[in-house]
Amino acid sequence: MVEHGTILANEKVGQDIWRMEIAAPKIAAVAVPGQFVNVRLHDRMEPLLRRPISLHGIDTEKGTIAFLYLVVGKGTMMMTEMQASQDINLLGPLGRGFSLDFEGNRAVVIGGGIGSAPLYPLIQALREKGKQVVLILGARSKESIVALELYHAIGAECKIATEDGSMGVKGFVTDILEEEFKNGTCDYLYTCGPIPMLHAIESMAEQYGVKGEISTEAHMGCGLGLCLSCSVKGKDGRNRKVCQAGPVFRLGELSYE
């Protein structure tokens, strides 16, 4: 569906990272963790194509959604200029979200950089189901680690890895994850982030026999499965459209070759 949302807040929360909160009651009523919306800046034809942005917040009672977005080009730079009370054109919710049922009680959730964006509503939903959640966040430096207070507030145990050692462990999320695997404390795995990180995590999960899901990103034109620009290759050799079959896939479903 297309909904004309109203911006409630739009503020910088990290190094080139912004958080936007939007009143969009129709989307908020049906969205699930892991889904996304395609955004067009209201009444503007530039940029021409909509921009896919994952849902960082879903509040059914308030009728609001939130984005956590990284400024990487003209479109996202234009988003930073938008003010409270302005309209924004939203197409969604789109795609397949995370599943919330798994055997066991302890989930390990991993986010790399801005890939942590869709994880907050996931953790919120898992906590509401009584699951224990360990969140492992990775980034180049502490400036890119955001929303920690939100995760703590909903009862997630947070562990941090930064490449420069400015926060948490110096290294990568896989360094922390391996300890979870060795200790047998991961019943199910969720992750979202850059492709090299996803590949490394999948390889490690396969080695330890851990099941889970990944959320991947792709360039996208329509978000409706028509333009084929978001196709990714599965291990069975068949292509999958991220906008429809994803963005959430089972571990072992995609090929990284």
Residue 70's CATH number: 2.40.30.10
Question: Is there a domain that residue 71 lies in?
Answer: yes
Q: Is pLDDT of 60 > 80?
A: yes
pTM: 0.91
Give CA–CA dist 97/113, Å, rounded.
20
Q: Is-cis flag, bond preceding 47, omega within 30?
A: yes
Give CA–CA dist 63/17, Å, rounded.
24
Q: What percent of the chain has pLDDT over 70?
A: 94
Give CA–CA dist 30/229, Å, rounded.
26
206 or 15: whose pLDDT is higher?
206
Same domain, 83 and 141: no
Question: Is there a domain that residue 169 lies in?
Answer: yes
Question: Is there a domain that residue 176 lies in?
Answer: yes
Averaged pLDDT for residues 128-135? 96
Q: Distance of CA 77 to CAs 58, 74, 99, 188, Å?
A: 23, 5, 33, 36
Using the 3D structure, point to which of 59, 94, 129 is the last residue of a domain: 94
Same domain, 79 and 134: no
Question: Is there a domain that residue 189 lies in?
Answer: yes
pLDDT, tens digit (0-9, with 9 covering 90-100), for 171-208: 999 999 999 999 989 999 999 988 888 899 999 999 99
Q: Is pLDDT of 45 > 70?
A: no
Same domain, 172 and 192: yes
Same domain, 87 and 174: no
Give CA–CA dist 223/38, Å, rounded.
7
Same domain, 175 and 205: yes
Same domain, 83 and 119: no
Number of domains in the chain: 2
Using the 3D structure, point to which of 67, 94, 121 is the last residue of a domain: 94
With 0-12 / 13-18 / 19 or more C-beta atoms within 10 angstroms meaning exposed / middle / buried, residue 202 is buried
Same domain, 113 and 174: yes
| DSSP SS3 for 2 | strand
Question: Is there a domain that residue 234 lies in?
Answer: no
User: How much is the mean pLDDT over the chain?
Assistant: 90
Same domain, 51 and 136: no
pLDDT band at 248 (very low <50, low <70, confident <90, very high): very high
- Asked whether the beta carbons of 243 and 90 are under 8 A apart, the reply is no
Give CA–CA dist 33/48, Å, rounded.
27
Using the 3D structure, point to which of 217, 234, 250 is the last residue of a domain: 217
Same domain, 39 and 63: yes
Rg (CA), the chain: 18
21 or 252: whose pLDDT is higher?
21
Helix (H) or strand (E) holding 237: none
Same domain, 67 and 133: no
Same domain, 11 and 85: yes
Same domain, 83 and 115: no
pLDDT at site 189: 98
Question: Is there a domain that residue 251 lies in?
Answer: no
pLDDT, tens digit (0-9, with 9 covering 90-100), for 97-129: 999 999 999 999 999 878 888 999 999 999 999
Least confident of 13-17, 82-86, 157-161, 183-187: 13-17
Question: Is there a domain that residue 173 lies in?
Answer: yes
133: domain CATH number? 3.40.50.80
Range of the domain at 66: 2-94
pLDDT, tens digit (0-9, with 9 covering 90-100), for 144-177: 898 899 999 999 999 999 999 999 999 999 999 9
